[in-house]
């Protein structure tokens, strides 16, 4: 790391310490082959590429730097170039025009390339931007410019450009001159507050230099590539890059003197203090009539520069079910990771929004487990959602913008379908229906026509001992007598709520929460209200002088969640009540 410095009498706009870009990539030696302690140059990154690419042939970086984004662009003699004098850098890209007409050979780019690095944390994780190009011929000087856009700016089929400028887009200008030396390097940012048509030239660093352009850095000669925040170099000797190159004059694959340019700068150091660094989505490199920001633009190459990225991880657990059968509760949780710096990062899951704020090169938690500094659920409540089914799959989407104030490109990522089959805690979403039934009975005599017969009166309760509602509850009494079968209720069924609630128990003979009290009736007395009865047609004799009548009750239902059948007993079995009758004074009054 280095401290701010002065070039001549001009203070460069360097905020605090800076990283010399040549410690990350060799852009100060005027060639493409890696060497020395840095051991990272364009030959390593570009390899033998012959087509546009965003993947380095071999990743490399000096001083433990890490790559954010990379692009390699190819051109030809009939490639796209700017049309009309109206296509200038102070104009928004929506005003730019392009055509396939040829440009002078000295202004025709054969390849262009750029890379974004983060310096190591020990150097403040500064962002380093580097770029380079070769041209087809060197029969004259040429100037070069490079745009790093936050939006995906690209030529379209109508001869204009898609995408527009965003405040904070970065523009670097230099030249194919002074072979073996360091041509002037100027770095600007797009700033719409620079809204005048004319500004003094040359502009002081930090001031508006042209409409929409603010000068961030300016350096040349001894102020570049030697313990400095910027570097620009042109080859002073013929070089042979690892990728295919054909020069106009002399043939072969050798780039002549003044045919190769490379440059770069510490964006963190030159960018306005306190302003979050932009995150770039596209790159354009061009030739131009001069190094002036208002120069006429000529040839260009452009492509994606995927510096910005967002990733999301989601987990989903079933945490509870609704006892009434209406569904299940699921938790929402995960992480969102940002590559570069992004604004208004948020996660949307099942219509719930988690706001993660503006952050870069890091990870935040959302949903269950999120804490201070992580993503916050908007609108309050808990990070859960409900669904009628179990198990389910679920997806979540993370998004963010490459510029503040809703500007830049919107970048998003949606998870694959995530299974929500896990139950936390174990068994949380497994219903356990339990149905039981009981019965009490008394006997008496009654006159029926010309006969005296035995009558059995009974009642009882059905109970839900499980954790889920039971629907369509019915109780069937089976007896050796008349009627032989009685069902309660006679049609349909009733509902028992889950155990421990007020509606978990019900008297089946009257449909109420409690049953009538049975006492041994006097002869001929009718059954008490809410009880049921039958007339037995057989008995079991019990000495001395007793008779016993028995019948069985069985309850059935369906659980409210899975709609599966539930029974108090297996088919053919049930709860059996024994009802005694005997001579007066021998039996208890309420057997």
The CA-CA-CA angle for residues 549, 552, 554, to 5°, reads 165
Other residues' Cβ atoms within 10 Å of the Cβ of residue 122: 9
DSSP label at residue 516: P
pLDDT at 368: 96
Question: Which residues, in sequence order, are CB contacts of 550 under 8 Å at separation 6+?
Answer: 479, 540, 576, 577, 578, 579
Query: 372: which 2 tokens?
Result: 């201070």
DSSP helix/strand/coil, 315 = strand
Nearest-5° Cα angle at 406, 301 to 403:
45
Separation between Cα atoms, residue 465 and residue 7, nearest integer Å? 86
- Spell out the alpha helix ranges (H) of 383-500: none
Whether cis (ω within 30° of 0) applies to the bond prior to 483 is yes
Residues of the chain with pLDDT under 50: 3-15, 584-585, 589-591
Token digits for 449? Answer: 């026509």
- Closest among 97, 93, 83, 132 to 112, alpha carbons compared: 132
Is the CB of residue 257 less than 8 Å from the CB of residue 237?
yes
- Quote the pLDDT of residue 588: 54
How far, CA to CA in Å, does 581 sit from each of 484, 533, 541, 586? 20, 15, 10, 9
0.85 exceeded by the pTM? no
Residue 127: its pLDDT value, please?
95
Contacts with 53 (C-beta within 8 Å, 6 or more apart), sequence order: 70, 71, 72
Beta strands at 384-387 and 410-414: parallel, antiparallel or unpaired: unpaired
CB 439 within 8 A of CB 531: no
Contact 209, 295 (CB under 8 A): no
**How far is it, in rounded angstroms, from Cα 301 to Cα 108?**
10
Pair of tokens at residue 155? 């030529």
Measured over the CA atoms of residue 439, residue 443, residue 448 and residue 451, the dihedral's sign is positive
Which residues make up the CATH 2.60.40 domain(s) of the chain?
Answer: 309-419, 435-581
Residues 309-419, CATH architecture: Sandwich (2.60)
State the DSSP H helix or E strand holding residue 267, giving kind and residue range, or none if neither. Answer: helix 267-270
Cα distances from 68 to residues 116, 233, 343, 359, 577, in angstroms, run 5, 23, 17, 15, 80
CB 332 within 8 A of CB 349: yes
With H, G, I as helix, E, B as strand and everything else as coil, classify residue 434.
Answer: coil
Distance CA 93, CA 149 (A): 10
What's the pLDDT score for residue 2? 54
Q: Rounded to 5 degrees, what angle do the CA atoms 186, 85, 79 make?
A: 80
What kind of architecture, by CATH, is found in domain 435-581?
A: Sandwich (2.60)
Q: How many CB atoms lie within 10 A of CB 295?
A: 17
Contact by Cβ (8 Å): 215, 194: no
């Amino acid at each position: 790391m280095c401290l701010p410095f002065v070039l001549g009498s001009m203070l460069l706009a360097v905020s605090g310490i800076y990283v010399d870009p040549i410690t990350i990539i060799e852009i100060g030696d005027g060639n493409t082959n890696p060497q020395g302690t840095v051991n990272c140059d364009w030959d390593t990154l570009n390899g033998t590429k012959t087509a546009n690419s965003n993947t380095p042939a071999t990743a490399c970086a000096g001083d433990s730097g890490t790559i954010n984004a990379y692009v390699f662009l190819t051109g030809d003699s009939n490639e796209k170039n700017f049309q009309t004098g109206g296509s200038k850098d102070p104009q928004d890209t929506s005003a730019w025009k392009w055509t396939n007409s040829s440009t002078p050979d000295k202004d025709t780019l054969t390849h262009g390339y750029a890379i974004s690095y983060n310096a190591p944390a020990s150097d403040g994780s500064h962002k380093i931007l580097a770029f380079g190009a070769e041209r087809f011929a060197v029969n004259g000087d040429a100037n070069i410019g490079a745009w790093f856009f936050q939006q995906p700016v690209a030529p379209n089929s109508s001869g204009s450009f898609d995408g527009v400028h965003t405040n904070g887009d970065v523009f670097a200008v230099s030249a194919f001159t002074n072979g073996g030396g360091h041509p002037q390097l100027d770095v600007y940012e797009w700033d719409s507050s620079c809204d005048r048509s004319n500004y003094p030239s040359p502009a002081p660093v930090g001031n508006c230099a042209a409409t929409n352009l603010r000068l961030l850095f300016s350096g040349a000669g001894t102020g570049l590539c030697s313990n400095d925040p910027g570097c620009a170099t042109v080859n002073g000797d013929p070089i042979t890059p690892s990728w295919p190159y054909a020069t106009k004059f002399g043939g072969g694959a050798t780039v002549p003197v003044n045919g190769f340019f490379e440059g770069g700068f510490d964006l963190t150091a030159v960018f306005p203090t306190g302003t979050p660094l932009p995150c770039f989505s596209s790159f354009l490199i061009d030739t131009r009539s001069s190094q002036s920001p208002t120069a006429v633009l000529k040839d260009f190459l452009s492509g994606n520069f995927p510096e910005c990225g967002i990733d999301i991880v989601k987990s989903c657990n079933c945490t509870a079910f609704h006892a009434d059968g209406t569904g299940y509760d699921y938790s929402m949780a995960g992480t969102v990771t940002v590559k570069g710096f992004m604004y208004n990062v948020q996660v949307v899951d099942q219509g719930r929004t988690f706001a993660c704020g503006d952050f870069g090169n890091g990870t935040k938690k959302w949903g269950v487990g999120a804490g201070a500094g992580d993503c916050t659920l908007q609108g309050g409540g808990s990070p859960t959602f409900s669904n009628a089914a179990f198990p389910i799959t679920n997806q979540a989407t993370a998004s963010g913008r490459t510029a503040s104030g809703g500007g830049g490109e919107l970048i998003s990522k949606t998870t694959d379908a995530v299974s929500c089959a896990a139950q936390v805690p174990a068994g949380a979403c497994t219903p356990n229906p339990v149905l039981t039934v009981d019965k009490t009975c008394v006997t008496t005599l009654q006159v029926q026509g010309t006969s005296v017969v035995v009558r059995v009166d009974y009642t009882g309760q059905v109970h839900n001992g499980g954790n889920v509602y039971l629907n369509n509850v019915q109780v069937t009494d089976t007896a050796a007598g008349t009627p032989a079968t009685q069902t309660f209720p006679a049609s349909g069924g009733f509902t028992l709520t889950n155990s421990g609630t007020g509606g978990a128990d019900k008297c089946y003979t009257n449909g109420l929460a409690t049953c009538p009290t049975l006492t041994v009736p006097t002869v001929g007395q009718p059954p008490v209200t809410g009880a049921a009865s039958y007339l037995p047609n057989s008995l079991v004799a019990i000495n001395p002088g007793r008779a016993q009548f028995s019948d069985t009750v069985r309850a059935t239902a369906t659980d409210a969640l899975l709609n599966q059948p539930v029974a108090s007993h297996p088919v053919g079995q049930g709860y059996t009540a024994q009802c005694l009758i005997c001579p007066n004074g021998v039996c208890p009054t309420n057997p």
